[in-house]
Structure 1
Amino acid sequence: MRKVYCAVTLSLFVAGAFAQNVATIDGRSIGKKEFMWFYKKNHSGNGAVYAELEAYLNQYINFKLKVLDAKEMGLDADTAYLSEVRNYELALAAQKRIAKTSPAYQLIMNEYKEAALMFNISEIKIWNKAQNDENQLRNFYEQHKNTYLPATFDEVKGKVITDYQERLEKEWINTLRKKYTVKINQTEVKKLAKL
């Protein structure tokens, strides 16, 4: 009887914890406060339409997946990264506009840390590959030549690089979404749309 009670209590706790989140990635939560802070920062107006929230949440999940991948690669332990974060923190503290104990301070610091990680891993996984591998770019051009006709590779190289980067990113995101379990709490997202 005690095991049953503990199991029921645990499942209610887990369900309650999930209700506070808009999504989880491999059990790591994305809280509704964090998500709405980012959403409002990047969208004007007071109201949020469900379709916009859902689309932005998927973009935000992709961002978080990239950050998770960067952490698994150990990029968060890189000395240059740690120095960059420390310098940003010192600059933020020097402004004296926001207290270190403030929830907004934590959101700002977390945003900076994650954005720097996402930038660093994107450079490795996408940008450098597209910029430095002429053979892959030419192969991509040949596979999609009809898109670029009548221009030659040299005439549209910039567009080819952009398109190739987009393909690399889509493939990367697909791989990450297969690797990590992503759960979206549709009920909470719908509630946020009503706000």
Structure 2
Amino acid sequence: MTTTTATAASSSLPALPATPEPVKIGVVSISDRASTGVYVDKGLPALKEWLTQALHNPITFEERLIPDDRDGISAALIELVDAGCSLVLTTGGTGPAPRDVTPEATLAVADKEMPGFGEQMRQISLTFVPTAILSRQVAVIRGQSLIINLPGQPKAIAETLEGLKAEDGTQKVNGIFAAVPYCIDLIGGPYLETRDAVCKGFRPKTAVRVRA
């Protein structure tokens, strides 16, 4: 829910600043071939473009393009969390192939697992391809950061983040990003403000803040 809707329940919360709060976001593309220059990485540009369109908040991106190495992935995630990234999104390495180790590397650095994100991503992708059942994306909390594994293809990234809309433009299936702002609220992060035309974030009425 955006901050344009005032509610009586939200009056006890601190008022929002005059402009949206800055946020630092980590984006990680995981691919042996892209990281060695065999082909051009498309994951990082797709993540940055979508987030820039979806959020009103000024974003500082921390980018990583790394190979499919479990220890290296875990180290990069820890580094991004320690650097102050409230949200870290990864793309690639979530299938069943021997080199697909992103979920294992992510779980290795977790304080808490958030299984609903992976469950919803697979449900969305299954409306397009039956092989979505092979995807193993996970999401976790580490400290005050939310880490989410996303699919490897830019189109699938947008679909899982935004969800599915009906022909009349109404939301048919919620994307996972609708729950991200409130999750980050709950772990002590910045107040993310979404652009409804891209993805409408949801908060309970008691968690909605308004501008003074």
| The two structures share one fold, judged by TM-score above 0.5 | no
Larger radius of gyration: 1
Tell me which protein shows more helix as a share of its residues: 1
TM range (shorter): under 0.3
Greater RCO between the two (CA within 8 Å, min separation 6)? 1
What TM-score do you get using the length of structure 1 for normalisation?
A: 0.26
What TM-score do you get using the length of structure 2 for normalisation?
A: 0.24
Tell me which protein shows more strand as a share of its residues: 2
